[in-house]
Amino acid sequence: MYSPFLFVFLPFAYGQLHTAAKNAGLLFFGTATDNPELTDSAYLAKLSDSTQFGQITPGNSMKWDAIEPGPGNFTFAAGDVIANLAKKNNQLIRCHNLVWHQQLPSWVTSTAWTPATLTAALQLHVTTEVTHYKGQCYSWDVVNEALNDNGTFRNDIFFSTLGEDYIKIAFDAAAAADPDAKLYYNDFNTEFPGAKSTAALNIVKALKAAGTKIDGVGFQSHFLVGSTPSIATQMKNMGTFTALGVEVAVTELDIRMPLPPTQANVAQQQTDYQTVTAGCLTLKGCIGVTVWDFDDAFSWVPSTFPGTGSACILDDNLNEKPAYFGALAGLTGTGPQPPQNGTNGTYSFGNNVTTATAKPTKATFVGEASGLVSNLIWPVMMVVVLAVL
Ligand code: XIL
């Protein structure tokens, strides 16, 4: 007679990523997904668990080539699938993205634009897409990856035709179309202080000086194992952005390693995931962490960074890796975790992992107290219910 109660209460005692993130004061823990993956029912079930993922980001289906494959020809069907799924699951969406140098249809890259004709095409694209999804997007990545690593502007079709004005044009159009969506600048290799991070900061400053609405900056965070920023570095780097009055988010987290995985790298990856989530938790103004898909089977990493992989928090078979427990530990500081050396005695590089019970050793972070209470309340209630019965 006790088993139904155990069934009900155990998931709460166990600890889930989004629940832990919320308890700690973040807005979400989320994940990217992509339309072809949704035919995998086991994957879809995990994705739809809003205690794990309180936010989803379409990996491809809201990009320019998907939305406006021909001039003025808008196709929202695939993007709508993700938006509707999020609605059904009671998940936020980070809508991604409006202006980017990649995944542009050839009519955008090959037309002989004048500043006036490209401005009109850009405004039509942004206005039409943002209007279509009005009220559905927590945020929009309005401009993605405008910068080179040395901090200069990337010389894509937008910059070469319009100079940096294209950024303001895109943000202004997005703000007019959906005043309630948070508007983000999103980039990679901005996660450490340096020329590129400073240049991103200058984009925020320039937009604000021009009276243009910008609400947030996304730090993609496609990391190599052992090369993630420390909590102190995250505070320093992202803190320069929050000091300007914008929110920040980790928007595309994955942590790849050379294949095959070694025990040392698996352990390091666990620590790295923990450091990233703990960093966001520690910094006031960091609102959430999104992984760039949660399952190694659907990661973009192996095809993009050949020789590397195993970058996600779940393995090919949807089993939680030490990285999962690292991410969770960064959000809670409590609950089931593998020992801090990263080997929980059962994980065998891509196969089943079972939950170990070592206590966390990390320092106390902002929000941890509330996480502690909510993680303890369910086991305590369970004991009380069982005692009464
Ligand atoms: C990636 C997708 O995950 C891949 O499926 C696609 O082939 C290429 O784009 N930065 C971004 C994301 O902002 O849109 C990219 O997504 C990964 C890098």
pLDDT in tens, 162-212: 999 999 999 999 999 999 999 999 999 999 999 999 999 999 999 999 999
Point out the least confidently predicted range of 48-57, 198-207, 364-373: 364-373
pLDDT score of 15: 80
Q: Which amino acid is at 363?
A: A
The pLDDT of 220-231, averaged and rounded, is 97
Looking from the CA of residue 186, the nearest atom of ligand 1 is: 13
Q: Report the percent of the chain where pLDDT is more than 90.
A: 81
> Max alpha carbon distance in the chain (Å)?
77
Residue from 31, 38, 60 whose mutation best tests the ligand 1 pocket (most atoms within 8 A of CB):
60
Looking from the CA of residue 100, the nearest atom of ligand 1 is: 13
Would you tell me how many other CB atoms lie within 10 Å of the CB of residue 66?
18
Rg (CA), the chain: 21
pLDDT digits (tens, 9 = 90+) for 120-143: 999 999 999 999 999 999 999 999
The pLDDT of 12-22, averaged and rounded, is 82
Residue 370: pLDDT band with limits 50, 70, 90: very low
Q: Whose CA is nearest to atom 14 of ligand 1?
A: 59
| CA 252 / ligand 1 centre spacing (Å) | 9
List alpha helices for the chain, DSSP H.
3-14, 17-23, 41-47, 64-67, 77-89, 106-110, 115-132, 157-162, 165-177, 195-209, 231-242, 263-282, 301-304, 322-332, 368-388
CA distances from 217 to 40, 184, 185 (A): 32, 5, 5
Residue from 56, 221, 292, 298 whose mutation best tests the ligand 1 pocket (most atoms within 8 A of CB):
292
Domain ranges (residues) in the chain: 17-332
CATH code of the domain occupying 17-332? 3.20.20.80
**Residues 33 and 57 sit within 8 Å (Cβ to Cβ):** yes
Looking from the CA of residue 144, the nearest atom of ligand 1 is: 13
Residue 254: pLDDT band with limits 50, 70, 90: very high
